[in-house]
Amino acid sequence: MATPTHIGRFKVKRLLGKGAMGEVYEGIDDKLDRRVAIKILGRKHRESEEFKTRFLREGRALAQMNHPNVVQIYEIGEHEGRPFLAMEFLDGEDIGVLVKRDGPLLPGDAAEVIRQAAIGLAETQRVDVVHRDVKPSNLVVTKGGVVKVTDFGLAKALQEDLSITATGVFVGTPDYLAPEQAMGKEVDARADVYALGCSLFHMCSGHPPFRKGGQDDHYTAVVRRHLKAERPELKLEIPGFDEELSDLCRRMMSRRPDVRPTFEELKDILGPICTRLGGRVPPRHTEVSLRSDAGGVPAVRDGAGEALAPKAPSSATRTTIIAVGVGVTVGIGLGVMIAIMNKL
């Protein structure tokens, strides 16, 4: 498929990436002389009126916002029967890439990333948009030290069209998936808080909360741990870890949505924590040594709350944990787009 010369009024410079949902191009807005990222729905979804309606509806909702912690949408249009979004071109790297390449973040810096993300997500909640796919790779740090939350809303439309199997099992990366979302229930902003908590855990420890490497980390096992396992605690895994930040992270990952803090509460709680720990963005990295008795998978409990016999810890448990990412990637994230840009 040839690269178009124009999408709408925007001149196309190059293809940045493509996936199950569509393509992302770098473009130029000649009228304002600025670079843009153009996200266009894939040709195979062109006939789905419901999909197109959702794509445009949520794009319009986000276009109402002009917030420094949310990727900005400049224009919504249609090209050859396919809707597209022209949005802010981000010059930076996503947190997923940074952690994978350079290791865990300093706790205060991780807290600052989450604080800025919570501010952005609070704004999207105001216009009734739930992200549903919050994860480190959707949190971008610009060279100016601002955290931008990317890839809003589109996850829901794609999930409903492509990712629910006949048995109702959610297909996609399970590492940040709220229990209610895994069970196919209607979700609200509290699912995004849960995903932020899992992302915070990942940033600080170097691995997602319910994945530590080894044969026991298959897809269904990770989903089951979200549903039934004890919540892991950073202060029990990392010697000397800040207790207040650890307790907040565990509360964010509560199985009960009503226990999780709101975005407003997160902003109020994380501000003093960031100040006390000297948090800043762009984040700095650190080496993490896990406690020797904290490397096992959290105990999974049956419906009555009884602990099931845990499997033996994997030989992959070691002093420094390397995150193992599996699962089916759904859609195409701006985090991928930025990773591609940095390599070009």
Residues designated as active site: 133
What is d(CA 198, CA 232) in angstroms, rounded to the nearest whole number?
10
The CA-atom distances, in angstroms, between 240 and each of 26, 107, 110, 244, 321 are: 45, 11, 16, 12, 17
What token pair was written down for 57? 């509806």
What is d(CA 112, CA 125) in angstroms, rounded to the nearest whole number?
20
What is d(CA 313, CA 229) in angstroms, rounded to the nearest whole number?
15
What token pair was written down for 29? 């807005």
* Total residue length of the chain: 344
- Beta-carbon contacts of 168 under 8 Å, excluding residues fewer than 6 positions away, are 184
The CA-atom distances, in angstroms, between 177 and each of 213, 243, 281 are: 18, 24, 26
* CB-CB contact of 187 with 180 (8 Å): yes
